[in-house]
Amino acid sequence: MKESEFRYDYLVIGSGVAGLFFALNMASHGRVAVVTKKERYESNTNYAQGGIAAVTSKEDSFEMHVKDTLEAGAGLCSEEAVRTIIREGPERIAELKELGMKFTEREVPNSNGVRELDLGREGGHSKRRVLHAKDITGREVEQSLLKAVERDSNIHIFENHIAVNLIMSGRLGMDGPNRCLGAHVFNRVSGEVHTFSARIVVLATGGCGKVYLYTTNPDIATGDGIAMAYRAGARVANMEFIQFHPTCLYHPKAKSFLISEAVRGEGGVLKSIDGREFMDAYHPMKSLAPRDIAARAIDNEMKRSGAEHVLLDITHRPAPFLIERFPNIYKTCLFYGIDMTKEPIPVVPAAHYQCGGVVIDMNGRTDLDGLYAIGEVAYTGLHGANRLASNSLLEALVCSKRAAADVASNQLEPVEKPLPAWQSGNATNPDEMVVVSHNWDEIRRTMWDYVGIVRTNKRLRRAQKRIENLLEEIHEYYWDFKITSDLLELRNIATVADLIIKCASSRKESRGLNYNLDYPEAMPELSKQPTVIRRGELTAR
């Protein structure tokens, strides 16, 4: 074996909730490598605030959670996915607790100290059903999983390792179906590209918020998994449905800080800058309307008034309650000079979540042998045209478990043949570095301006032209120059931007998160039909 080739049974790309939960479930079956592009905890998971939606109370039922999810999804959910994921949620929550996760509890009123889960409420939920750890649920989930992974000697984490491309048997001219055999992985510290080979490769790379100028997502969210799977020939679906979270903190110095929807769940009210409540004009659930509606309403109010933000007011709740329930949001706002107990919080919508992704079946299998996808990178059909709040951590847990069970019962044989080493150009040129950062900005701004909350055919066409030029330019120097993580991510955000525009342009209706002024109505005959795209072809609707 060459020095730079690593052999494992399972290669997991990504160390958020999906990747770590899968790794923990597979470690008793073989050796697991988890490659992750920065520090092990750095992931969307780590920043999740609101919590995990699951049916755990007597006042709630699977049927009600299913109904809320289908309604938010605006006719485009797969009912099979919705029912399966919701039904299996409580068991996964129990496993998470066994691994050490502590959810916030409260004392049952008049019970002499009996405690129960403190359930939060968020947009589109008809019941309180969101399990949370105050307002830092994601950090607690991530830490519980990491601690368990670190206790397991069969799991090896490679930090600062960014997967570049999947290694496919078809490309190597091998006989049989096109199978994923591993990945080329760039070590950001040493600058080497290693070859990882495995029986099974799992994409758990999360979402693509960084494709947009303003996002709640951390820097890792550049859609790498989508881009890699698409390049390898897998089907990708519903990329037009990018969810914009209605309430990201508006402050010149705050980079992407979310104000959880749970704040509205506890009574927070959206107001215009002159203090007028406006959500009753848009939805009967007012400030707790589903996200697509709330984000669009805010966008509309801002455009109408010319204001740069709206306000989220929860000053009517007692200060001790707010400080106890939202310690992180309170502390962070205070750091930026805003005391949420005394004044409304300035907020704006920002790109938050990708409802589409790599097409998988209910066991996490993609179209390509040996390649699985789980978590935000994957498309199961759960979210349809708009995700119900706090359903994504739930989906990641359930689908990781199902994928692990499937892999354990269908072991593919290891490929003994050594895999080829990475070949690339060696040139470095400071001018090219400027081009890379310029192109990053151009893509993100183009997507924000032309492919945002409200779309038109003309804007989509403009965006398409610009992204096509950029893709061509990136392709030209990609193979000549020495790779850097910025260049790898640039190539991926360009690919994902292209997919979002193609999917949005092909959906000739407004539904859920895809709102196009040229087709303001939903078309009944298009319901339940995802947009599916494969390299070189828009395959279905």
Residue 260 lies near ligand SIN (rule: CB under 6 A) = yes
| Candidate residues 118, 224, 299, 301; the one interacting with ligand FAD per rule CB under 6 A | 224
Contact segment (CB under 6 A) with ligand FAD among 1-9, 35-43, 236-244, 444-452 equals 35-43
Q: Specify the residue, 347 or 463, whose C-beta has the smaller distance to ligand FAD.
A: 347
Counting Cβ atoms within 10 Å, is residue 71 exposed (0-12), middle (13-18) or buried (19+)? middle
Q: 231-250 in b/e burial notation, b at 16+ Cβ within 10 A?
A: ebbbbbbbbbbbbbbbbbbb
Q: Which does 396 bind (CB under 5 to 8 A by kind): ligand FAD, ligand SIN, none?
A: ligand FAD
* Residue range at the interface with ligand SIN (CB under 6 A); choices 256-264, 357-365, 394-402, 423-431: 256-264
Tell me which of ligand SIN, ligand FAD, none is bound by residue 36, counting a contact when its beta carbon lies within the kind-specific cut-off of 5 to 8 angstroms.
ligand FAD
Count residues near ligand FAD (CB under 6 A): 42
Candidates 16, 19, 50, 530: give the one binding ligand SIN (CB under 6 A). Answer: 50
Q: How far is the CB of 393 from ligand SIN (least distance, A)?
A: 7
At 227, the amino acid letter reads: A
Identity of the amino acid at 305: S
Three-state secondary structure readout of 149-179? HHCCCCEEEECCEEEEEEEECHHHCCCCCCE
Residue with Cβ nearer ligand FAD (398 or 460): 398
In the complex, the smallest distance separating the C-beta of residue 157 from ligand FAD, rounded to whole angstroms, is 10
Residue 15 or 531: the one with the smaller Cβ distance to ligand FAD is 15
Query: Residue for token digits 């290693």?
Result: 194
Encoded tokens for 284: 């009967």
Q: Interface residues for ligand SIN in 392-411 (CB under 6 A)?
A: 392
- 264 is a catalytic site residue: no
Catalytic residue among 291, 365, 387, 507: 291
Indicate if the alpha-carbon torsion angle 164, 169, 171, 177 is positive or negative: negative
**Tokens at 222, concatenated:** 């550049």
Residue nearest to ligand SIN (CB): 50
How many whole angstroms separate alpha carbon 519 and alpha carbon 463?
18
What SS3 state is found at 279?
A: helix
* CA 12/CA 30 separation, integer angstroms: 12
CB of 216 to ligand FAD, least distance (A): 4
Alpha carbon distance, N-terminus to C-terminus of the chain: 46
**Are 403 and 23 in contact, with CB atoms under 8 Å apart?**
no
Q: Which residue has the tokens 């994921």?
A: 85
User: Does 17 participate in binding ligand FAD (rule CB under 6 A)?
Assistant: yes
Alpha-carbon gap, residue 324 to 169, rounded angstroms: 54
Task: Decide: 300 and 517 in contact? Cβ < 8 Å.
Answer: no
CB of 160 to ligand SIN, least distance (A): 27
Report in angstroms the alpha-carbon separations of 522 from 72, 76, 123, 387, 510: 14, 11, 21, 17, 5
Binding range to ligand SIN, per CB under 6 A, among 55-63, 197-205, 217-225, 386-394: 386-394
Residues 472-511 as x/- pattern, contact with ligand SIN by CB under 6 A: ----------------------------------------
Tokens of 269: 């009210």
The tokens of 279 are what?
């959500």
Q: Is 16 in the site for ligand FAD (CB under 6 A)?
A: yes
Q: Does 49 bind ligand FAD (CB under 6 A)?
A: yes
Compute the least distance from the CB of residue 396 to ligand SIN, in Å: 11
State the minimum distance, in angstroms, from the CB of residue 261 to ligand SIN. Answer: 3
For 303, what's the count of Cα atoms within 13 Å in the CB-facing half-sphere? 9
Q: Segment near ligand SIN (CB under 6 A), from 93-101, 227-235, 384-392, 429-437?
A: 384-392
Residue 173 phi/psi, 5-degree rounding, is 75, 25
When binding is defined by CB under 6 A, the residue of 144, 217, 287, 446 that contacts ligand FAD is: 217
Exposed, middle or buried: residue 328 (CB in 10 Å: 0-12, 13-18, 19+)?
A: middle
- Span near ligand FAD by CB under 6 A; candidates 97-105, 331-339, 372-380, 452-460: 372-380
Structure-token pair, residue 523 = 């078309």
Q: Is the distance from CB of 312 to CB of 263 less than 8 angstroms?
A: yes
Q: Is 48 in the site for ligand FAD (CB under 6 A)?
A: yes
Tokens (6 digits) for 452: 């945002």
List residues with catalytic annotation. Answer: 291
Q: Which residues bind ligand SIN (CB under 6 A)?
A: 49-50, 260-262, 353, 389-390, 392
Q: Which residues bind ligand FAD (CB under 6 A)?
A: 13-19, 35-38, 42-45, 47-52, 137-138, 162-163, 204-206, 216-217, 220, 224, 258, 353, 375-377, 390-393, 396
